[in-house]
Structure 1
Amino acid sequence: LTINGREVGVAKDSRLASEFDITDFITNGSNRVQIRVIKWSDSTFIEDQDQWWHGGITRSVKLFATEYVFIERLYATPGLEKNNKVGTLNIRAHINSINEEEIAGYRLKVKVIGVKGAEASATVTNQKAPNWTQKSATEKQAGDDFFLGTYWDGNMPKDKYQAYLATEPIIPGPLELNIKVPSASPWSAESPSLYDVEYQLIDPSGQVIEVTTQRIGFRSVEIKGCDLRVNGARVMIYGINRHDFNRRSGR
């Protein structure tokens, strides 16, 4: 990727999305954006799968601008509990800034549109990072062995590692919110019921500076014996290695 003749960056993974911060590369007025695609790389055979190998761009390309403080990442994990009657939504959000803009005090408000009372909010606070004691809902479910493997490779005793973390700088940590939706309509392949979730980023003065939405479905997925079960019902997966593509729209 080049902007006005200056190289911005390179990405080799042809399956995952790539993102580049071009703030320092653009100027007022007209800018020339160029993307050069090379079919082969030193990573080509690492991605070897049973599929057609195509050069080109297979994902949508977009250019977007944000405020100095913005929503960087959102991880929404919907689920079902109580005999598939109550929808659960765990949200882990990361707020970031450009040019080290202070973000402590910014607030994220989340609501499931059309469901009364299904909303929550959390305020960004400063904390040690990475925070040893703060686990996501997924990490809590996976257990301590997974958590230690994620943040700690075992090269030093746990107490010494915690002491090392105490010397880390203070930075804003991730936000975690939980919402419950009574009488949720479960998602399934046969009845793909979806809900819109709205996220509002609010500055310390109360002004909404960013709004974005996601579509989610409430479902439970589990392995029981030899069965894959969705919402408690056994499902059958038809077909493997199905790498579909369209000659005009890509994947």
Structure 2
Amino acid sequence: MDPPHPPQDNPTGEYRREFVLDSLAEGARWAMRFEGVDSHFTVWLNGTELGWATGSRLPVEFDATLALREGRNVLAVRVHQWSAGSYLEDQDMWWLSGIFRSVHLIERPAGGIGNHFVHADFDHRTGEGLLLVECDVPAVVDIPELGVTGLPVGEPHRIAHVEPWTAETPRLYVGTLRSEGETVTLSVGFRTVRIVYGMITVNGSPIRFRGVNRHEWHPETGRTLDLETMRADVLLPVQREPRRNPVPVRPQRTAGGWAFGEAEFTANGELVGLGELALVAPRLDLWRAPTDNDRDVHAQAQVWRELGLHRLVHRTVDCAVHGEQLVVDTVSQAAGQDGGIVGRWTWTAYDSGALELNLDLTPAGQLDTARGDSRQGDVLPQPATVPKLGIRLGLPGGAADVGWYGYGPGESYRDSRRAARLGRFHATVEELQTPYVRPQENGNRSGVREAAIRWADGQVLHVTAPTGIDLSLRPWTAVAMDTARHTSDLVPDGALWLTLDLAHHGLGSGSCGPDVLPQHRLHAHAATLTVRFHAGDVERTRASAPGN
């Protein structure tokens, strides 16, 4: 990131199109119009540079008159993905660069109308309209419904008793703008937008904006949209938004073995049992919904957000099969951040039907911010803490309960488990949650070595961890808890989200006392998570059911 300079590694595309023009009318001018190019481009016509432009969502016109010729013409365009404009246009969106809207060659008659602007103000006290039309060539305005005939451009004209334009009643008057060489149609709406004492008003009345951030995007056509898709996008915000359920990943038989999500195994059918639970693919998870203590004066939650730990992007670097093992290398980091976590996921299938995961995690880059540690009065940047270190995967929703061997019966964390004891416990998913007034991280069970999750239909998932892990199971994600303001805002999303963590950052008591003690702070470090899964049935669960 070096504003305003684009990166040296700048993907570039070159376009070339030949076209034939039968004749050139004398005195006419020609414009080459690009409706949208992302993000910087230069245009040549028949070897003559017409110019360059940036600003991906803005139409641009180049004067092609002198470079155009009768017969064969060659249009060439060079497009760079990144430019100074990228820093202004950067949003959370699909990046798909290139010429994504139409390109037109437009003939302009002599004396034709180019740039023009209609000013149509409304005085809500008198009902009077004020009309002023600007144009780059001499022209006159006609609006028959208002009795306006031959009004020269650039000349203001007051009109008594016009009907105003509002979003609820979009009243438009049809008129024309006439020059020596061309006539264009105008749609004129009278309105006045002002800011009065900090409030935006339209025609003297305060308004409230309700809308969504819209991007031109379609999963099949990219940034090229037809009118029906545009209409559907506009209508969508006024309809009830459907609940978005996670997409289950089921195993599929392939020529080489079994495909599980994006990974393919050559190990034998024992993977099928686990896959029948419709797992949402596991991924690295460093985020927890900040607690009241995380939001304290020491601002741990703010640091975590600055590091982008709530918006990690996961990339598969390599995937290879070694005998009965599948080895997947990944990198997880937030866009625009230097630091991240490198993961090696080694999956091993056993004849017993168990599937073991060994996940080796290694920090990469710098996981810190420009700030020092306020607790120590430091000025120099310090390695930042992370909320937790583990994985998250999605399971089928619905009624379920959990039996586990570890600390319980209530929630516990590394610096908050004096009230917990080691033993075998049982709880429903609902009983695992601690309903704090403000939704936040809760319901963790620490030191878990064995767990069995059982659904009402008899399906069971067994989880074992030889060294003990932190476990939570919720009908919503940590992101949903972070977004919610009250417990009533939390609505099950159709899945059960299982998190298996090596460690958590301590809770501390920063909202009313000391911050997390040094020995309970969690920093990114090299570590290995070992977990074994086995999909069983109700009979297996009954044979090994834990006591209360």
Per the shorter chain, which TM-score range? 0.5 to 0.7
Of 8, 30, 38, 2:80 maps to: 38
CA distance in 2, matches of 1:91, 1:183: 19
Residue 214 (structure 2) aligns with: 243
| 1:113 to partner: Cα distance | 4.4
The one-letter amino acid of 2:152's match is S
| 1:48 to partner: Cα distance | 2.7
Alpha-carbon displacement from aligned partner over 1:167-197 (angstroms, at most 9, x marks no partner): xxxxxxxxx1223333322111111112233
Alpha-carbon displacement from aligned partner over 1:65-101 (angstroms, at most 9, x marks no partner): 2234343321211111252622221122222xxxxxx
Q: Does 2:203 correspond to 1:231?
A: yes
Of 59, 62, 66, 2:108 maps to: 66
Alpha-carbon displacement from aligned partner over 1:139-159 (angstroms, at most 9, x marks no partner): xxxxxxxxxxxxxxxxxxxxx
Q: Does 2:49 correspond to 1:7?
A: yes
Higher strand share goes to which structure? 2
Q: Does 2:140 correspond to 1:109?
A: yes
RMSD: 2.7
Correspondence list, 1:94-173, <5 A: 94-95=136-137, 107-117=138-148, 119-121=150-152
Q: Does 2:181 correspond to 1:213?
A: no
Alpha-carbon displacement from aligned partner over 1:95-136 (angstroms, at most 9, x marks no partner): 2xxxxxxxxxxx4111224332354125xxxxxxxxxxxxxx
Alignment gaps of 5+ in structure 2:
1-42, 219-223, 231-548
CA distance in 2, matches of 1:177, 1:54: 45
Please give the secondary structure, in 2, of the residue aligned with 1:11.
Answer: strand
CA distance in 1, matches of 2:173, 2:197: 31
Q: Does 2:27 correspond to 1:56?
A: no
Q: Does 2:176 correspond to 1:198?
A: yes
The one-letter amino acid of 2:120's match is P
CA distance in 1, matches of 2:56, 2:63: 19
Alpha-carbon displacement from aligned partner over 1:32-85 (angstroms, at most 9, x marks no partner): 334443322344224334544331335443221223434332121111125262
Ranked by relative contact order (alpha carbons within 8 Å, sequence separation 6 or more), the top structure is: 1
- In the superposition, the TM-score normalised over structure 1's length comes to 0.61
CA distance in 2, matches of 1:181, 1:10: 43
Residue 156 (structure 1) aligns with: none
CA distance in 2, matches of 1:42, 1:224: 35
| 1:199 to partner: Cα distance | 1.1
Contact 1:78 1:87 in 2 (8 A): yes
Contact 1:17 1:59 in 2 (8 A): no
Please give the secondary structure, in 2, of the residue aligned with 1:218.
Answer: coil
| 1:5 to partner: Cα distance | 4.3
Residues 245 and 69 of structure 1, relative CA distance in 2, 3 Å threshold: same
CA distance in 2, matches of 1:45, 1:220: 32
CA distance in 2, matches of 1:43, 1:223: 29
| 1:218 to partner: Cα distance | 0.7
Residues 17 and 181 of structure 1, relative CA distance in 2, 3 Å threshold: same
Contact 1:11 1:18 in 2 (8 A): yes
CA distance in 1, matches of 2:199, 2:82: 40
Contact 1:118 1:181 in 2 (8 A): no
CA distance in 1, matches of 2:190, 2:160: 11
Residues 85 and 61 of structure 1, relative CA distance in 2, 3 Å threshold: farther
Residues 50 and 26 of structure 1, relative CA distance in 2, 3 Å threshold: same
| 1:225 to partner: Cα distance | 2.2
| 1:219 to partner: Cα distance | 0.8
Residues 118 and 84 of structure 1, relative CA distance in 2, 3 Å threshold: farther
CA distance in 2, matches of 1:53, 1:59: 15
Correspondence list, 1:13-24, <5 A: 13-24=55-66
The one-letter amino acid of 1:121's match is P
Residue 142 (structure 1) aligns with: none
| 1:227 to partner: Cα distance | 2.2
Contact 2:141 2:148 in 1 (8 A): no
| 1:19 to partner: Cα distance | 1.2
190-199 or 47-56: which moved more?
A: 47-56
Q: How many residues align?
A: 180
Please give the secondary structure, in 2, of the residue aligned with 1:72.
Answer: coil
Residue 241 (structure 2) aligns with: none
Residue 183 (structure 1) aligns with: 161
CA distance in 2, matches of 1:179, 1:52: 46
The one-letter amino acid of 2:109's match is E
Please give the secondary structure, in 2, of the residue aligned with 1:62.
Answer: strand
CA distance in 1, matches of 2:150, 2:79: 43
CA distance in 2, matches of 1:120, 1:19: 28
CA distance in 1, matches of 2:124, 2:148: 19
The one-letter amino acid of 2:162's match is A
Alpha-carbon displacement from aligned partner over 1:12-32 (angstroms, at most 9, x marks no partner): 221322110011111112423
Give 1 or 2 for the bigger CA radius of gyration.
Answer: 2
Alignment gaps of 5+ in structure 1:
96-106, 123-175, 203-208
CA distance in 2, matches of 1:118, 1:223: 33
